[in-house]
Structure 1
Amino acid sequence: MKIYFSGSIRGGRDHRELYSKVIDELKKYGQVLTEHIGNEKPSEKMSDQEIHDQDMNWLRESDIVIADVTTASLGVGYEIGRALHLNKPVHCFYQKEKESQVSAMILGSNELSCRAYQNAEDIFEELRQIFT
């Protein structure tokens, strides 16, 4: 199984440590195509066009998309929209206390599975349910 993990990079790195833990957990279920999202400083050596094209190739190649939507990010929203267009299953997670900040376009979509979490263990339990 090829997993595309999406989370805010340029929009803020507040959740980087959590992303890293989630990516480690996701590796139990398949190949995570976007491991760099959990890195302290993702590579900036690529042009914006190269990043877009690489991410689109990974999206097309993926079997499933897991996205943290706690931090507003145009990139994450774009990836979710493109994933839906490609008929990929998309599962979104967000911090429960920040629910009011998550876009209604995400929470209100019947095409997405959205779940609140309070800590990494909540996400891990949801991932077990998704993948088993």
Structure 2
Amino acid sequence: MKIYFSGSIRGGQQDVEIYHEIIEELKQYGTVLTEHIGTKIKKNNMTDQEIHDRDMNWVIESDVLVAEVSTPSLGVGYEIGRALDMKKPIICLYRSINGKTTSAMIRGCTDLQCFEYATLEEAKKILKNQLTH
């Protein structure tokens, strides 16, 4: 199985360790096409268009999209929207942070599987349940 993991990169660096742990868990179920999201941002020489085109090719190639949506991100929302258009299965994970929860546009979309978690262990159990069925 090819897994596209999506998480806020430019605005979500505070969550990079969480992304890393989720990616490590996802590797048990297949190939994670976007492993780099689990590391701190490093300067690269790619243009915005090159990043867009590479990532869209990965979304097309993927069998499932898993998104960590606790930190709002235009890019993550865009990827989810494109994956929805492609009829990809999509799993969204989120935490409530300082009393704030994720967007109603995500949680309210019946074509997405959305799950709240408080600990990484809960997130791993959710992924196991979703990816082994």
In the TM superposition, 1:1-132 aligns within 5 A as 1-97=1-97, 100-132=100-132
Name whichever of 92-101 and 112-121 sits farther off. Answer: 92-101
Counterparts in 2 of 1:54 and 1:94: CA distance versus 1, 3 Å:
same
In 2, the alpha carbon distance for the partners of 1:108 and 1:99 equals: 18
Shift of 1:46: 0.8
User: Deviation digits for residues 25-58 of structure 1, max 9, x if unmatched?
Assistant: 1000000000000012245321100000000000
RMSD: 1.3
Contact 2:95 2:118 survives alignment (8 Å): yes
Corresponding letter in the other structure for 1:29:
Y
Equivalenced residues, count:
132
Counterparts in 2 of 1:31 and 1:42: CA distance versus 1, 3 Å:
farther
In 2, the alpha carbon distance for the partners of 1:75 and 1:3 equals: 17
SS at match of 2:115: strand
Name whichever of 69-78 and 42-51 sits farther off. Answer: 42-51
Contact 1:70 1:98 survives alignment (8 Å): no
Runs of 4+ in 1 over 4 A off after TM superposition: none
In 2, the alpha carbon distance for the partners of 1:28 and 1:108 equals: 29
Contact 2:9 2:41 survives alignment (8 Å): no
Q: Aligned residues: percent identity?
A: 54
TM-score by length of 2: 0.94
In 2, the alpha carbon distance for the partners of 1:102 and 1:79 equals: 16
Unmatched 5+ stretches in structure 2: none
SS at match of 1:100: coil
